[in-house]
Chains A and B, each alone.
Chain A
Amino acid sequence: MAYSWGLSNLGKGDEVLVSLMEHHSNIVPWEITAKIKGFTIKYANVHPDGTLDYDDFESKISKKTKIACLSHVSNVTGVINDVKRIGKVAHDNGALMLVDGAQSMPHMKVNVQDLDMDFLAFSGHKMLAPTGIGVFYGKKEVLEKMPPFMGGGEMIKEVSVSQGQCSVSWNELPWKFEAGTPNIGGAIGLGAAVKYLEALGMDNVLSHEKELTKYASERMKECSKVTVYGPSDLSKKLGIIPFGVKGLSSHDVALFFDNYGVMMRSGYHCAQPLHEIFKLESSARASFYIYNTQQEVDRFLEVLKEFEQL
């Protein structure tokens, strides 16, 4: 997105608006392309509980803003953002709306037309599909105007050299953006994952995760050494619980759980700016999906209680 649309549409005087809860993948490409094209990146604040500061985000959208970029769901806190609300303000100011759906698409029903998002990106490996495959959705009229960001086979319609002059034309959508031999295995795997999730029903996926999150969140309050980050109002979030244990780094916590066969992520989760807002060096993150059970949450809580001995 940044390389294709950004490099051909942005320049000095233009602004890209990004929230401070973004994954680095929704920050760094803009920073790289800003250095090339000279546009400005503005950052919208996040409240101390991890929820978006909508007033700040909306106040930073102006006629200079060309695109507003926001996670649908935070990969650190699970906070669900009202992307429709932000998209409307962006559109009213002539800006486009890019949504990072990596943490929403696997867990809830998302209607791109209802939410009126111009672009949506998400990864396969967070929704039961193989790594190395993902989806980039865009409104056709915008995609038609975007140049390819990578050259190679498949994205070409015609290459002709006559008298030392080469003329090149691009293939139709979506092949225009698919240079080289496609990730066939990954695409088949992603297709199967989508069918599987659709058969389960995304509402069922969501309610299962919410149930586990509610149960775990309530029980985690019993652990005196544990601090949970993010909003206490569970209606604002999905199945992710970032937390810390008094006196231990997040890596110690993750290694401790590892001993009991409980796997979790520790560190910045590729969202350092949000950890700076939380004034944390890192965090441990418990997360739930369709394959997790209440018995597994109980096991997680049993291990968590062992920290009381430390």
Chain B
Amino acid sequence: MATVDDYVSRIEGTCGAESDVIVVFKYEKKDEAISNILKKATLKNKIAGIIFELTFQGQSFRVYSTGKAIFRGVKNKQELNELLVALLL
């Protein structure tokens, strides 16, 4: 059974006043991860096929075609993990 760890390489908190979190997908799984996310989240904007601006369960975030996603205002690791489970699996 697939897990979030199958898709995620690492998670980084950003440096700055914003409470953003960057999720880096595993290179070999990034296309599958992005495809899964696009099936479940609502696409608000797409720029040059590079940035996907999305919302899911009231959470806005951006996914980049290089395999990185940036989530804003996520309260804690548990909330982020729940979001990733719902988006990826």
Instruction: Give chain A's interface residues, CB within 8 Å of chain B.
Output: 249-252, 255-256, 258-259, 266-270, 275, 280-282, 306, 309-310
Which among A249, A255, A256, A309 is the interface contact of B16 at CB below 8 angstroms?
A249
| A-B contacts, 12 listed (Cβ < 8 Å) | A251-B18, A255-B66, A258-B64, A259-B66, A266-B14, A267-B16, A269-B15, A270-B15, A275-B16, A275-B17, A282-B18, A309-B48
Q: Are A255 and B18 in contact (CB under 8 A)?
A: no
Within 8 A of A (CB), among B1-55: 14-18, 20, 22, 45, 47-48, 50-51
- Cross-chain contact B18 with A256 (CB below 8 angstroms): no
Cβ-defined contact, A251 with B50, below 8 A: no
Q: Across the interface, do B22 and A251 meet the contact criterion of CB distance under 8 Å?
A: yes
Complexed CA–CA distance, A267 and B20 (Å): 10
Residues of B near A256 (CB, < 8 A) are 50-51, 64
Contact call B16/A282, Cβ cutoff below 8 A? yes
- Are B65 and A282 interface neighbours, CB within 8 A? no
Contacts of A258 in B (CB 8 A): 64, 66, 68
Using CB atoms, name the residue of chain A closest to B51. Answer: A256
B55 to chain A, nearest CB (A): 15
A268 touches B16 (CB 8 A): yes
**Minimum CB distance partner of B53 in chain A:** A310
The docked-state distance in angstroms from the alpha carbon of A71 to that of B65 is 39
- Residues on A with C-beta less than 8 A from B18 are 249, 251, 281-282
One of B15, B62, B65 near A267 (C-beta < 8 A): B15
Most buried by B among A255, A256, A269: A255
Q: Are the C-beta atoms of A259 and B47 separated by less than 8 Å? A: no
